[in-house]
Amino acid sequence: MPSQRLLRRSLVAIALAALASGGLLALAGYPAAASAAWSAGTVPVALALLLAILRDLAQGRVGVDAIALLAMSAALAMGESLAGAVVALMYSGGNLLEDFAVARAERELRALVDRAPRVAHRKQGDGLQEMGVDDVRVGDTLVVRAGEIVPVDGHLASATALLDEAALTGEPLPVRRDRGGLLRSGTVNAGETFEMTASATAGESSYAGIVRMVTAAQTAKAPFMRMADRYALLLLPVTLIVAASAWALSGDPVRALAVLVAATPCPLILAAPVAFISGISRAARHGILIKGGGALEALAGARTVVFDKTGTLTVGGARLIAVETAQGQSATEVLRLAASLEQASRHVVAVAVTAAARARGLALEFPRDVRESMGSGLEGTVGTARVAAGSFAYVAAGRRPEAWAQRALRRAAWRSALSVFVSLDGHIIGALLLGDELRNDTPRAVQSLRRLGVSRILMLTGDSEDAAQTIGGALDLDSVLADRVPADKVDAVATEERLAPTVMVGDGINDAPALAAARVGIAMGARGASASSEAADVVILLDRIDCVPQALAIAQRTRAIALQSIWVGLTLSGAAMGLAAFGHLTPVAGALAQEAIDVAVILNALRALVPERGFRQRLLPATRVSGLLLEHVDVGAALDRLREIADALDTADGAPAAALIEEASLIVAGRIVRHEEADRTRVYPLLEAYLADTHGLSAMSRAHREILHLARLLDRLTHDMRGLEIDRFLVRDAQRAIEAIEALVRIHNAQEDDIYEHAAAVGR
C-alpha cells in the first residue's frame, strides 16, 4: 500500500509538471517541445492505468477508467497531446484524492495487543515463579496482585476478590467475586492480592478471543468500491457507441477522439472523492474522525443504531448522584468527612468521592491512622473524630438500619447505585449514592437520530437487566438487551445487520468486536479507548454522544452532494459528447469543456465542507453557551439543597421544620427566582437573534411563569406560618411546593440547555 500511494503521488506530480512545462513552452513559441512535454506526462499515467485495468479485469471488475485510457491513447496517437495531458492530470489527481480518503481506514490493533496480559505469577510451594502468559497451563495456581491484569480465565481460589471488569463488560463499578467464581482474562484486580486456578490457556481465554473477533470482523469487510464503478456498465458502452457513430457518420476519427475526451469520466472519478474528503474534513472540525469514504458512504445509509450503555449513553464511571443523611445531619458535612477519609485510598469509589467534594469546593482534611479493608471500606481519624466509610455491613457492624438508612438502601437499589455509608465516632450520619448517570445530551441525540431516518434504536450492554432498564426507561428506545458478553454483542449486531444497515456505538474494549462486526462502528474515543477506536470506522474525539447524529447528518448530506455532482457532471458531459459528435467541439475544446465541467463538479462537491445554512444562520458563540451552562450548574447546587430539605421534612416538625422551610424559601427567592428573571429579561432576548423559530422560547416562558407561581406560593406559606403552630399538614404543603419547584426547575434547565446547544450548533 505505501508503494501504491507513492506511485499515485508521483503520477500526479509528473502530469502536473508536464502540463505546466508544456504550457510555458507553448507560450514561448516552441509547440513541438510543448507537445513532447505533454506526451511525456501522459504516457506514465496511461501505462499505470493500463496495469490497473488489467488487474481489475483479473478480479472481474470493469470500471469507467477504461474511457480515460482510450482518451489518452487516442490523443497520443492523433497528436492531440494537450488533451491527453489534461485527461492524465484529471485521472491521476482523482486517484490521489480517493487514496487520501481511504488512507485513514488503515489502523493496526497495537493498542489492543499492548494491553493483553503477558506475564503471570505461578505459585510453587512457598514462592512465586514469573512466567510468560503463554506458558500457563490449565490447573496452574496463579497469584494476581493488586492492580494486575488477570492473565487467563480461571476460578477464584481465595475467599473474595474485587475486580474491575470494565474492559470486558463496560460495568463502571468494581464487582465482587466469591470463592469458586469465574474470573476472565483482561479484568483488573481492584482489591487485595488473590489466588486463582487457571481453567484455560492464554489463547483460549476471553481477552484473546476479543482480539481474534476484532481481526476476523475487520478482515471480512468488503473493500470500498468507488461510486463511479456503479455507473461503468452504462457509461462505457454508451461512450463507445457515440464515438464510433460520430466517426462512422463523419468519416473523421478526430470527432471520435473529441467524444472520448468530452466523455472522460472526471465527474465520476472526482465528484465522490472530493465530496467525501469535504465531508470527512467537516466532520473532523467537529471532533468526528471518519476513516475514509467507504465508512462515510456506509454511515449515510444507516437505518439501525445500536448503543452500548456505560460511557456511551451514560457518563461512565462512578459518580456521586445523591447524599442521604440521618436526621439533623448536613449533606455537605457528610460528603466532606467521607472525602477527607477517602483521600487515603486509590480505590475507584474513593477517587469519585473526593472528586465530587473538590468539585463543590469543600475544604478537606488529610486523615490519620487509616485502616482499609479492600472491597469493604476504610476508617481513620479526620480532625479529632473517628470516621468510617464503606458498605452498610462494614460501617454498621451488625446493627439494623434505621428508617433513613433503609430508604437510602432502597433508593440505591432503584437507581442501580452503589451506597457508601459514613459514620462519625461510631454513629452513622449519612450515605453517599454513586452510580452511572445518563448523559445530558443523550435524549437529544436519540431524537435527532429519529429525525434523520433511523427507524430502530437499541441499547446493548453487559450490565445487569436492572441497571440497563434504569437507563433505557428514560429514552425512546426500541429494545434494551442486557447481560451480553462480547460474543453475544457480536451476534446481536449481526442479527440487526441482516435486517437493515446497522451502526454500533461503543467506547470500551468489550465493544471492539461488535464495532468491527457492524457495517459502521462508531467509537467514543475521547477517553482513550484505543482498542475500540482501532476497530471502529468512525471515532468521536469529543466526549459528546450528540456527535453521533451529527456524523450521520454529515454523511447523508455528503452522499447526496456526491450523487448530485455525479449526475450533473454526467448530464453536462453528455451534452459535451453530443456537441463533439456533431463537430462543434475539437479534442482540445472538448478537454477545456470537460475541465470546466470538472471545476463545476468539484465546486459543487466542496459544498460538503460547509453546513447547509452555514452562510445564513448566525451561531451563538461557544463561550456564551459555556457561561449559560455554568449558570445552570450553579443553580443545580441550590436544587440539591432543596431536595435535601424536602427529604428532611419527612421527619421534621415544630421549630426544626419551620427553619427548614424558611431556608428553602430563601434559596428559592435568592437563587431560583433571580435566575429565572435573568433568563426572561436578558437571556431569551439574546437567543431570539440566533434562533430561526422562537416557539420553543414561548414554551419556556410558560415554564417560567409556573416556577414563579410556585415560588410565590412557598413565600406566602412561609410568611403565614410565622406565629402559627406547625402541624403536619402545613409541613406537607411546604414539602410539596419545594419538591415541585425542584423538579420543574431541573426539567426546565435541561430544556434550556438543549436550546442553547441548538443555537450554537444550527447548521454545523
8 strand-pairing partners = none
Dist. CA 328–CA 697, nearest whole Å: 41
Q: Which three cell numbers stand for residue 198?
A: 487457571
- Kind and range of the H or E run holding 161: strand 160-164
Using alpha carbons only, give the angle 153, 158, 164 rounded to the nearest 5 degrees: 55
84 within 8 A of 75, measured Cβ to Cβ: yes
- Kind and range of the H or E run holding 428: strand 427-435
Tell me the torsion sign for CA atoms 461, 463, 465, 466: negative
Question: DSSP E strands: which ranges in 267-340?
Answer: 288-290, 304-307, 319-325
Dist. CA 1–CA 99, nearest whole Å: 10
Query: Cell 510543448 identifies what position?
Result: 34
From residue 565, give the alpha-carbon distance in Å to each of 211, 231, 233, 281, 303.
41, 14, 19, 18, 24
Catalytic residue among 65, 140, 153, 308: 308
Active site residue 308: yes
340 within 8 A of 364, measured Cβ to Cβ: yes
Residue 583, number of CB atoms within 10 A of its CB: 13
Which residue in 418, 624, 487, 459 sits closest to 545, CA to CA?
A: 459
DSSP 149: B
Q: Which three cell numbers stand for residue 408?
A: 437510602
DSSP 680: I
From residue 474, give the alpha-carbon distance in Å to each of 18, 313, 438.
63, 11, 9
Residue 259, number of CB atoms within 10 A of its CB: 30
Strands 538-540 and 288-290: antiparallel
Strands 160-164 and 188-189: antiparallel
DSSP 294-309: HHHHHHHT--EEEE-I
From residue 61, give the alpha-carbon distance in Å to each of 47, 57, 232, 506.
18, 5, 10, 36
User: At a CB cut-off of 8 Å and minimum separation 6, what does 516 contact?
Assistant: 213, 214, 217, 218, 535, 536
DSSP 599: H
DSSP 229: G
Q: Which three cell numbers stand for residue 18?
A: 508536464
Amino acid at 418: L
73 CB-side CA count, 13 A: 11
524 within 8 A of 543, measured Cβ to Cβ: yes
User: At a CB cut-off of 8 Å and minimum separation 6, what does 398 contact?
Assistant: none
User: What would you report as the CA-atom Rg of the chain, rounded to the nearest whole angstrom?
Assistant: 34
Burial class (CB in 10 A: 0-12, 13-18, 19+), 58: exposed
| Helix extents (H) in 154-205 | 166-169
Dist. CA 193–CA 282, nearest whole Å: 49
Q: Which three cell numbers stand for residue 137?
A: 497451563
Query: Cell 433513613 identifies what position?
Result: 404
584 CB-side CA count, 13 A: 7
DSSP 203: G
Dist. CA 647–CA 320, nearest whole Å: 18
Question: DSSP E strands: which ranges in 175-233?
Answer: 175-178, 182-183, 188-189, 194-198
373 strand-pairing partners = 377
Query: What are the catalytic residues?
Result: 308
